[in-house]
Every structure is written in C-alpha cells, then in structure tokens.
Structure 1
Amino acid sequence: MNILLMSMPDCAPHFNAKRWKPPNLAISSIAGNIEGHNVFIADLILRRERIPETVKDLIAKYRPDVVGLTAMSFQFSTARRIASLIKNLNKDIKIILGGYHATLMYDEISKSDESAPFDFLIRGEGDLCFDELLKAINGERSVNSVPGVSYRNYNGFTHNSPRPLEDLSKIKIPDRSKRIWKGYQYYGFTLDIVESSRGCIMPCNFCSMDKMYGKTFRRFSVERMLADISDAKQQGANFIIFSDDNFTLDIKGFESLCDAIVKAGHDDVRYIIQASSSGIASSDTLAEKMARAGFRIVFLGIENVSEENLRLMKKGNIIEKTKLAVKRLHEQNIMIVGGMIIGNPNDKEEDIARNYEFFVDLQIDFFADQILTPYPKTGMRDELLNAGLVTNIHDYSRYNCFWANIKTNYLGPEDIQFLRWKYNRKYANYICTTPAFIKNYPLAYYYRQYLRRPFLKLKNKFFRNNLTEIEAYKKDMARAEAMNKFF
C-alpha cells in the first residue's frame, strides 16, 4: 500500500514560523517501523502558505491508500479539516489520527461529529502500533486484535484495549529518507530532532505527559541514541533538538551520553534539550560535560518566581536551585530559554512583572513566557474549572500557551493577554544581549545591535509611532490570529 504520513502546519505564535520549521519526530519514527509498504512523509510546517492546494497535490501524486495524521490539541481543528478534504477527494482512503489529542480525547472525539472523517484513532505510542494496524487494514489480522486502536464500525467507534508501553529496544530509528521535502531549520541552521528517553515522573499538574506515558521514565540505549544522531547528521542536520520532556531525570545516564557523544565525534553539531532546574543543579560536573559535547541551549523549567504559584503547579520551591542551575550553565556559556508560566489564579500585574524582572536579573537569554493553559485531562484543568477560572473550555485551537483561555482572581483573559504582550515589548531590546548569547553568536549580536535595531527604530518612527499602545497591541494580536488560518 501507499502510506502518506502528515504532521500539522499549526505553529504557536511565540515562534517565528519562517525561521522555526522542525520535522515531526513521531511520524519519522512510524515510517522507520513500517514494513512492506511505500511510505511518504509530509511535514506541512514546510508548506504553511498553501495547505489545501498542497494536500490536493499530495493525494494526486502519491495516491495513498492510508493517510496518517498527527496532531496536538491546538492542531486538531486543522487535522479534521485536512481529513475532511481528503475524504472529499477520495472517500476510500483510510485516515488514521494519532498524537496527543487523539490519545487524551479519543472518547470525546468518537462521540462527536468531529470524528466524521476519521476511520481509526491511535491512542498512545504509534511507532509499532501503526504497522500492526496496517496489517489489519490489509487483512492480515483482525483490527480488534491491535491494542491502542479505536476503529469505526456501524455503531460508531469501538475502542480496543489500551496499549502497554513499548519496549524501546524494539523501536527502530526514524526513517528520515522518507521525507519528501527539505527545509527544516532553526534560524538558519539545518534542524532535526532525536530522542533519548520517554516519559517523566515529576508531579507537575499543568502537564499532560503522563496521559501518554504514565508516570514512567524509559531510556533508549546509548548505541541507539548515537545511531539516531548519526542518521540525523547524514541527512544534513547541524542543529539537533532532543525531544525528551526532562533530560535530567537520569543525571548519570546524561553524563554518560555526553561522554559518548564526544567519543563518537558527534560534538560537531549543536544540541538543544529541555531540563529541570533541580536536575542541572544536582551535579557539579554535568554542565561542563554538556558544553564539551556540544549542548548549546537548555530550555529550563523555571516556571515562576512565586513560591505560591510553584506550589500550585506542584513544582516545589525550586528558586534557589534555579539560580544555581543558571550559574552552572552560564559558566559554560550554555544559553538558557527560561520557561515562564503566567496567569496563575492569584496573579496581579505586579506578580507577572516580577517574573520578567527575575529573568532579567538572572540574565536568562530567551523568554519562553507562556500563559497558563487548561490542557485536557490535567489536574490543573480540573482545579481551574472548579474555581470558575476557565474562560474558553472547548476551543482547543487556542490551547497553545499563547492565548489566554483563563482568568485570574484579579485579571480577565484580555488583561493577561495584554500584559504578556506589554512585557515582551518592554524587554524586546534585552533579548540577544546577554553575555552567553554574545559569546555564542558575536556576529549576530553586533548585527542586531548596530544594524537591525537601528533600522527597526527608524522604521517604527515612520510607520508605528502614530499608533497608540492599544492600537499596536491589537495589530500584533491580529497578526497572531491570522498565523494559523489555513482554510
């Protein structure tokens, strides 16, 4: 059969969609574990400008028997529209939906009209499940024998038994050769994604990770990780993101991987990881090993400066650990993307402002400032619903941490949205001026400081100075609203 795998084009408005074009690791992994079929991967992030036309072209060119779509919650609406378009082109094409939203919301999807264009849902890990489902579609086994699958029948959907977590040693590395387009990038670097582990055992109640993997943590072998890195490099990557949710749950394993990367000669590319402050702070030697191995950027889960808000998120009081983690990373010239969550139940403007001030005082290199989002099936969602603080319950297309879907006891959703914009604007000239950034990218610093910023200042003088603050805010929000309008 011909199998077409597609990831969604939706991008959170935090990101520059022209400079941030990541491949989808999940469908590349599925492609690497399909046997006996013709597989094609289409990451629609590379074709954002003409999605309906692109989908029609893909169906005409590759004539798929089966289409697999993956979507997070904020991408589900787009996935449904794409699936409907495909069904209108050829109703005989079987469409499979997987990913976080299908895993978390399979029951709700199957009971609503939103399920209409989908023939199957995959719940949980799809690496091996997808190939098993293809065997069922091909008549080689019964569909009700595939754990983790929901399938359409005459009475709606039947949900097979949940799928146990996979034995990671049985999952082959992603098949990146099946990607039909090139152009994955991160600010000019050729980008790819690998993974070293799955799952997280931390108790954070704003995260839905445990609904995919449970409260578990599993690591791939070092040999498999190195093979994955090598394959990504062979496909042209010189900047690699590890998709792990928390790279520092196993410090000894992380340090061993750093040593192995250096020994294998894979320290010639740059790496980004996501880590916890507690994990980085727990080791005297980790940051140095990371720097030698090529780790250049760490997304650090700082979240908030308020002890009350950290307790609410079940993060614990990590402020001193955060300071130590930042110190150790910066000593090695490793840049930090600071994770910040605003819009907590008791937030006032001064509480939100204090987070930005804290980040600047710590010389955090980039802000990943997110608005608290009541993701489906999370403990935080239940708490916010019970408190009457969720203002958008059902429109998941806005659940990307950029849009305010909640209020606080003192601020409405529009207030929160405006304050995030206000403090981003206030500190816009701070970004890319930190010591770590200058040491890593001196030419970029001087370009931004002495060419780009004077040009933008001059441009704003003639084209934006006549706008009031509210008018400028509305203009920027309108641009964000239009970002993911594909149909």
Structure 2
Amino acid sequence: MKVVLLSPPQNDKMFPSLGIAYIGAVLKKSGHDILIIDGAGISLKEMIASIKDYHPDIAGITMNTTNRFDVLELAKQIKSNLKIPIILGGPHPTLLPDQLLKNYKYIDFIVRNEGEYSTLELVNSLEKKKTFSNIKGISYRDNNKVIHNPPAEPILDLDKLPFPDWSFFNLKKYSKQVEYPEKYKKYPVGSVISSRGCPFRCTFCSSSQFWGHKNRLRSPENIIGEIKMLYGLGIRFIVFNDDNFSSNTKRAIQICKLMIKEGLSEKMGWQCRAEVNVMNEELIKWMKKANCNMIEFGIEDCTQEGLKWFKKSHTQQQVDKAFDLCRKYKIKTKSYFIVGGDHETKENIKRKKKYIENLNPDITTASILLAYPGTEVYDLGKNQKLFDESVWLDNCVGEKFHSRAPIYTGPHLSYSELISASADINYWWGRKKGQYGIKDNIKIAVDMLKQGDINKLFRMSLAVIKQKLSFK
C-alpha cells in the first residue's frame, strides 16, 4: 500500500519527527510503499501538491498539542482533495482520542501511544479490507460511535525496531541552537532516543502517559549502530532526546565507552537530558571523555515547597553537586525552571533569580506552567474550573494561553505576571551570558512574524519592557 507520513508545515522545528521516521522504517521493512513529507520550511500548499502527486492510499500525520490546528487543517485538505483514510498519532491524539474523533469527521483513526506496530497492523488491515476490532492501541468510529480498542503492550525490546528512516528528510533545514558548539553548526544535527518510558510523575509532564512508567532501554551496541548511521548521513552533533539519558548509569557509561572505542567521540559532539539525583563523578568523567558538550537538567524550582508541588525527587544538594562536577569536567549546563504553581509568588521568583545566579548554568530556560492534557496540572485546573476539556477545541489565543495551551496561574500571580516573570528570567540570564544581542532579538521577532504570532510578539515585547518595573 502507498502510505504518506507527514509532519505539518512549521518554520521553527528543532528536530525532524522521530515518530514518523520510525513508523516509516517499520512500514518500509514490511513491504509498503512509503513517502515521508517533512513540513520544515514548506507551505501547506506545497505539501498538498506533493501528496497529490504521490497518490497515496493512506495518510498518517503526527500531532502534538501545540501544532494541533495545523494538523487538523492539513488533514481537512487531504480529505477534501483525496478522500483517503487519515490516521493521527502522537501525544495529543493519544490523550484526547474521543474529542478528536467526535468533532472532526475527516479523522478516521487514531493510533495511541507507541505507533510502530499498531500502525503496521492498521495499514495491513486496510489493505486486506479486514476488521479493526482486534488491533490494539487504536481508536476509530463505527457507525458514528467512537470505539477505543484495548491499549497495545509497550515494546519491550526496542533493539528489534529498525533505525529511523531519514532518507526523506532534508536534515540541513533544522535550526542550529545557540548551545551547539560553533564547530558543529555547519553540519546537520541528529536526534536519538535511547530509551522510552519515565518512572517519575512530575505534575507538569505527560511523558509517562504516552510512553508508560516503565523505563525501557536500548542496548549500548544498538545505539552506537544508529550513531554510526547518522555519521554516514553527515551528522556531527547528536542530541539524545530521552527524558533521562542517565537513568541507568551503568548503561550510560557503557555507551560512552563504546563511543570512544569506535572513534565516534573524536568525530562527533553530543548533549543529553539527565536527572541530578543520579549524577556521579565516574559518569560525568566518562561523558566528558566521550565528548559530551552539554547536559540539560530539569531543576524547576529552588524551594522545597516548589519541588514538592512539582513532585521532583531531587534535593538542592544534588543540584549543586551535579553542577559542580560539570564545571570540574568542563561540560556545559542548561537548567530548566518553571514559573507558576500554587506555591509561586513574586518573592519566590526573586529567590529563583538569585538561585540561578548562584548556580550559574551556561543556559537557563524559565517556562510558564502550562496545563497540557494528561498532566496533573491539567486535572487541577479542571477541578478549579479554570477551563474544561473544550479548551482544546479553541485556538487558545489571548492572555490566559501560551503556545496554544492554558496557563495554570495558581492563587498568587496573574497571567500577565507569570508571562512577565518568564520573559524577565530568560532575557536577563540570556543577556548576562551574551546570548541575546540585537541580531538575536531581531531574529526572534522575525520568526514570530513568519508564524503569524503577532499577539505573542506583542506580549513578549511588553513583558521585557515591564521586567524592571515588576521584578527588580
């Protein structure tokens, strides 16, 4: 069968979609005719023209909460032009399948959670005109009734999956982020996920709702095989997009040792996300030897009250130790903080700035607390009647929203105060570290205008102007 897999048109994507690259590889291995159209840097009109030229039998589209309306417009136009079955996959449809199937009749199927094998079974059934009732992990309509089949079992042996198929992607399109070492910026950047699943239950995160709570690990040998493939594609910098690359320190060290043994550490740089509570000197020493350039840490808050509210399991002592070790071995650090929550106050935000100054990360990002579907924060907001499930049918534009999701304010700060605080911290620390000059600010403004997000540009500009008045 001819299957087209799509990521929607978007100008500011950091990485190509691993999801459709994996699914494309599985479908191709099973003998299906595959076309992947990557939406980075192309228009909706161009994408529709390419789809029509291919004449597919089925279309599959990856969707998240932020891009949901771009995906819905793409799906609507495909159905209007081609009248073929349309499958959605990704975090947003996984968490809200009922709403999507009831409200958008041009969506035919939703593949929930991991998509590789459920999508293959569905495509095979469509090809052979068989029933869908025995395919685990899918949702669909039957005589206007929405059916949710039982969930599929998580893929326990991730090594059995083929490597993602990057043959349809122009990897040079993707933005070179400010933290990438200068010598690698002329090369494409590769994305690898070495594990799936997260045992933690942070209030703001839905990752475990998608991947499950069990941490499933690929073998070091399998990961090195994929990195070698990426090197052959011209990639010289790797970003591990696991929730926690260091969840198993023994495996992480073995990956580093294999990078060195295979000569990859001399040719390529890399960065990853990790939890501070598992970092130790031996691990960081091997990461440095393997040419790790940066580690990203989710710190989120600087008070015990805030850490408890976010359900973070680390201590401030563990944070200090991890950052001290990174400095000792000259690995850059990126810290993530969240502005918002029931504990958040103006005084706490001032403490957060002081804490960041003492911690001295190379890069920091302070994000506004957003109530994404599948998170505990979302349930709290619904219980407080701040919003209900119909919010996802709205375009989510205005003071109460950010990145097409509702803001969770908490009892002490307003929407505008949270937006201002986030902009203040990001701009203050970026300027302090020399990351936001005039050219950078112009680029940010131009990118927002290209996306048609004039409202966001105005709000962010106003927040920066107000920062000295609100949070001195």
User: TM-score interval w.r.t. the shorter chain?
Assistant: 0.7 to 0.9
Superposed CA deviations along residues 418-459 of structure 1, whole A, max 9, x for unmatched, are: 2222333333321347xxxxxxxxxxxxxx8xxx56x8899x
Aligned equivalents of 2:462, 2:154: Cα separation in 1: 42
Which residue is equivalent to 1:290? 287
One-letter code aligned to 1:126: G
C-alpha spacing 1:388/1:411, structure 2 compared with 1 (3 Å): farther
One-letter code aligned to 1:474: F
Counterpart of 1:106 (choices 60, 72, 97) is 97
Counterpart of 1:474 (choices 458, 465, 472) is 458
Matches within 5 A, 1:135-150: 135-139=124-128, 141-150=130-139
How far apart are 1:44 and its partner, in Å? 1.1
Aligned equivalents of 2:433, 2:255: Cα separation in 1: 31
Pair 1:95-2:94 in alignment:
no
| Corresponding residue SS for 2:238 | strand
Pair 1:197-2:195 in alignment:
yes
TM (normalized to structure 1)? 0.82
Which residue is equivalent to 2:60? 68
C-alpha spacing 1:275/1:125, structure 2 compared with 1 (3 Å): same
Percent identity for Structure 1 against Structure 2: 26
How far apart are 1:216 and its partner, in Å? 0.4
Highest relative contact order (Cα 8 Å, sep 6+), 1 or 2? Answer: 1
One-letter code aligned to 1:94: P
Which residue is equivalent to 1:483? none
Aligned equivalents of 2:440, 2:141: Cα separation in 1: 54
Aligned equivalents of 2:395, 2:248: Cα separation in 1: 34
TM (normalized to structure 2)? 0.85
Superposed CA deviations along residues 10-55 of structure 1, whole A, max 9, x for unmatched, are: 57xxxxx3xx6311111111111112122122221332xx2x2122
Which residue is equivalent to 1:25? 18
Counterpart of 1:381 (choices 378, 381, 400) is 378
CA contact (8 A) 1:275 1:300 kept: yes
C-alpha spacing 1:234/1:184, structure 2 compared with 1 (3 Å): farther
| Corresponding residue SS for 1:144 | coil
| Corresponding residue SS for 1:85 | helix
Matches within 5 A, 1:210-289: 210-267=208-265, 268-280=267-279, 283-289=280-286
Which residue is equivalent to 2:306? 309
| Corresponding residue SS for 1:178 | coil
CA contact (8 A) 1:307 1:317 kept: no
Matches within 5 A, 1:176-191: 176-179=166-169, 182-187=172-177, 188=185, 189-191=187-189
CA contact (8 A) 2:89 2:111 kept: yes
Counterpart of 2:37 (choices 28, 37, 42) is 42
How far apart are 1:63 and its partner, in Å? 2.0
One-letter code aligned to 2:22: S
Which residue is equivalent to 1:175? 165
C-alpha spacing 1:77/1:63, structure 2 compared with 1 (3 Å): same
CA contact (8 A) 1:73 1:397 kept: no
C-alpha spacing 1:106/1:287, structure 2 compared with 1 (3 Å): same
Aligned equivalents of 1:210, 1:46: Cα separation in 2: 31
Superposed CA deviations along residues 154-188 of structure 1, whole A, max 9, x for unmatched, are: 22332222101113232111111133675234243
One-letter code aligned to 2:18: L
Counterpart of 1:122 (choices 89, 111, 115) is 111
Which residue is equivalent to 1:445? none
Aligned equivalents of 2:388, 2:95: Cα separation in 1: 21
C-alpha spacing 1:306/1:384, structure 2 compared with 1 (3 Å): farther
Which residue is equivalent to 1:406? 408
Which residue is equivalent to 2:368? 371
CA contact (8 A) 1:206 1:379 kept: yes
CA contact (8 A) 1:25 1:174 kept: yes
Aligned equivalents of 1:356, 1:402: Cα separation in 2: 27
Pair 1:344-2:341 in alignment:
yes
C-alpha spacing 1:227/1:472, structure 2 compared with 1 (3 Å): closer
CA contact (8 A) 1:83 1:118 kept: yes
Aligned equivalents of 1:141, 1:400: Cα separation in 2: 43
One-letter code aligned to 2:138: V
| Corresponding residue SS for 1:40 | strand
Which residue is equivalent to 1:319? 316
How far apart are 1:141 and its partner, in Å? 4.5
Higher deviation after alignment, 368-377 or 93-102: 368-377
CA contact (8 A) 2:172 2:188 kept: no
Aligned equivalents of 1:320, 1:25: Cα separation in 2: 35
Structure 2: runs of 5 or more not aligned? 178-184, 443-454, 465-472
C-alpha spacing 1:402/1:368, structure 2 compared with 1 (3 Å): farther
Which residue is equivalent to 1:156? 145
Higher deviation after alignment, 373-382 or 263-272: 373-382
How far apart are 1:136 and its partner, in Å? 0.7
C-alpha spacing 1:367/1:212, structure 2 compared with 1 (3 Å): same
How far apart are 1:358 and its partner, in Å? 1.4
| Corresponding residue SS for 2:336 | strand
One-letter code aligned to 1:413: Y
CA contact (8 A) 1:4 1:40 kept: yes
CA contact (8 A) 1:39 1:178 kept: no
CA contact (8 A) 1:98 1:126 kept: yes
| Corresponding residue SS for 1:44 | coil
Which residue is equivalent to 2:73? 81
Aligned equivalents of 1:59, 1:37: Cα separation in 2: 16
One-letter code aligned to 1:128: Y
Aligned equivalents of 2:343, 2:199: Cα separation in 1: 27
One-letter code aligned to 1:2: K
Which residue is equivalent to 1:4? 4
| Corresponding residue SS for 2:431 | coil
Superposed CA deviations along residues 97-156 of structure 1, whole A, max 9, x for unmatched, are: 000111111122223x1x322111001111222211110110174322221111232223
How far apart are 1:390 and its partner, in Å? 5.7
| Corresponding residue SS for 2:347 | helix
